[in-house]
Amino acid sequence: MMQANIFVVDDQAAFRNALEKLLSRMQHRIRSFQSGEELLAAIEEDVPDLILLDLKMPGMTGIEVLQELRPKGCDALVILLTAYGTVEDAVEAMKLGAFDFLIKTVDLENLEPVVNRALEHILLKRRVSYNNEHEADQYQLSNLSAHSLAMRALLVQVREVAQNPNVPILVMGETGAGKEFLARVIHHNSARAKGPFVKISCTALSPMRFERDLFGYERGAFAGAERRKLGLLDQAETGTLFLDEIGDLDLVMQGKLVGIVQDRMFRRLGGVEDISGDFRVIASSYRDLKVEVSGGRFREDLFFRLSAMQFVVPPLRNRTEDIIPLTKLFMMKYGLELGKEVTDIDPKAMATLQQYLFPGNIRELQNIIERAMMLCMGKTLTSSDLPGAH
């Protein structure tokens, strides 16, 4: 458990001291205050992770202090302490953003689990925040490094299309070439960046499961549907719906997608009302959908609606200039994960990678570098560390 910076606010010295002793035994850093006014002055200079705040105090009450905290930019979790424990106070405190509400007891037996739960919540929030920021950063056009002419040209097109948040997009390319990555780049550089990126696999799911997951359903729609379940179309609201490998869908399911792509209208299974969604549709396919249409395996109307804007991600063998920059990116990634400081790659290993055709494209390169980083014993990656590229 993290060692937290905890502020204790209570006008009763004996209770305040008891809190300090207990929290100190839990290895936390403690500062205590006898009034809300003292607390508000202190947070101008010091930022707590958690505040234990008495509800009933002379001067400012705990509720009044809560009302002042957020405008000051303090996002610490707050646990309110009270000897009274009225439901009305609890409801009011939760509305103002308190994490929990604890009734004072002499032995403080309930305090430790509540504090630990609050700290777990803080760690989770930090992890989610970091992941969101990191994810957004890696997909920003300004952070992408394209060395081949093919990828530079593709990213110029992406920059233009990303600005239109509604036009459907079809991303074509071989397995492992980076179609989903490009879809995420489009999402994160558009006006929909703050919305969710929702992916559904058109390959991995049975038609029945695909339909239920995508559309959701109303209670009683089928045996076992005991309550309403929102589908991925609901979850994609304000964001992007990514239909991964749409060419693998059967014709019946393709037909159910036409209205979604055309006007973003759908109906839950068992529902009677059409729902209007606000999301962009991006579909990917390793199959040549023109050929699939000609062979009667893909609906022409769906293809036309998807193909107003098409991108083709070139295979890695056709953009060898990108191999070494991508290799160094993956070396950095797995170096951090594995705790290894591998800072360079020797010329022979570079040549080995550049001469390899990579039938599995970027995904295969990533797997090769992950294994190589595990095998590498020095600070330089060598050709002997590349089991999959000989």
User: Is residue 132 predicted with pLDDT exceeding 70?
Assistant: no
By three-state DSSP, how is residue 74 classified? coil
By three-state DSSP, how is residue 306 classified? helix
pLDDT band at 324 (very low <50, low <70, confident <90, very high): very high
Q: Are residues 125 and 49 in the same domain?
A: yes
Q: Which helix (H) or strand (E) holds 373?
A: helix 361-375
Q: Which helix (H) or strand (E) holds 100?
A: strand 100-103
By three-state DSSP, how is residue 390 classified? coil
User: Is residue 357 predicted with pLDDT exceeding 80?
Assistant: yes
Torsion sign, CA atoms 17, 21, 26, 32: positive
Contact between 306 and 168 under an 8 Å Cβ cutoff? The reply is yes
Report pLDDT for 340. 84
Residue 54 forms beta bridges with which residues? Answer: 81
Contact between 312 and 178 under an 8 Å Cβ cutoff? The reply is no
284/85 Cα distance (integer angstroms): 56
Beta-carbon-side half-sphere exposure of residue 271 (alpha carbons within 13 Å): 18
* CA-wise closest residue to 111 among 80, 67, 65: 80
Lowest mean per-residue pLDDT among 27-31, 83-87, 280-284, 344-348:
83-87
62/84 Cα distance (integer angstroms): 13
Q: Are residues 199 and 110 in the same domain?
A: no
By three-state DSSP, how is residue 93 classified? helix
Structural domain that includes position 166: 160-314
138 assigned to some structural domain: no
Report pLDDT for 96. 80
Q: What is the pLDDT of residues 280-312, one digit of tens each?
A: 999 999 999 999 999 999 999 999 999 989 999
What CATH number is attached to the domain comprising 362? Answer: 1.10.8.60
The arithmetic mean of pLDDT across residues 35-49, rounded, is 91
Contact between 283 and 171 under an 8 Å Cβ cutoff? The reply is yes
Q: Are residues 119 and 213 in the same domain?
A: no
Report pLDDT for 388. 54
Mean pLDDT over the full length of the chain: 90
Q: Are residues 233 and 358 in the same domain?
A: no
- pTM of whole model > 0.85? no
How big, in percent rounded to 5, are the helix, strand and coil portions of the chain? 50, 15, 35
95 exposed, middle or buried (CB, 10 Å; 0-12, 13-18, 19+)?
exposed
Instruction: Say how many residues make up the chain.
Output: 390
The arithmetic mean of pLDDT across residues 362-382, rounded, is 93
Phi, psi of 130 (to 5 degrees): -65, -45
Distance of CA 222 to the CA centre of its chain: 32
- Asked which of 81, 116, 132 is the last residue of a domain, the reply is 132
- Asked which of 132, 148, 171 is the last residue of a domain, the reply is 132
Contact between 257 and 241 under an 8 Å Cβ cutoff? The reply is no
Q: Which residues contact 18 (CB under 8 A, 6 or more apart)?
A: 108
Q: Are residues 120 and 173 in the same domain?
A: no
372 assigned to some structural domain: yes
pLDDT band at 126 (very low <50, low <70, confident <90, very high): confident
* CA-wise closest residue to 173 among 360, 357, 364: 360
Written as one letter, the residue type at 96 is L
Q: Are residues 12 and 69 in the same domain?
A: yes
User: Is residue 390 predicted with pLDDT exceeding 50?
Assistant: no
241 assigned to some structural domain: yes
Rounded (10°) angle between helices 179-188 and 111-139: 100
* Number of domains observed in the structure of the chain: 3
147 assigned to some structural domain: no
DSSP conformation letters of 192-210: TTTS-EEEEETTTS-HHHH
Report pLDDT for 171. 98
142 assigned to some structural domain: no
279/366 Cα distance (integer angstroms): 31
Q: Are residues 176 and 205 in the same domain?
A: yes
Angle ∠(101,103,107) on CA atoms, nearest 5: 130
Three-state SS string over 240-296 comes to EEEEECHHHCCHHHHHHHHHHHHHCEECCECCCCCEECCCEEEEEECCCHHHHHHCC
Both structure tokens of 384: 């002997």
* CA-wise closest residue to 52 among 88, 27, 18, 25: 18
The arithmetic mean of pLDDT across residues 168-190, rounded, is 96
Contact between 309 and 158 under an 8 Å Cβ cutoff? The reply is no
333/342 Cα distance (integer angstroms): 11
Q: Are residues 266 and 228 in the same domain?
A: yes
Q: Are residues 254 and 338 in the same domain?
A: no
148/146 Cα distance (integer angstroms): 6
Q: Are residues 302 and 165 in the same domain?
A: yes
Lowest mean per-residue pLDDT among 74-88, 195-209, 270-284, 347-361:
74-88
Report pLDDT for 122. 85
Query: Which residue has better confidence, 74 or 345?
Result: 345
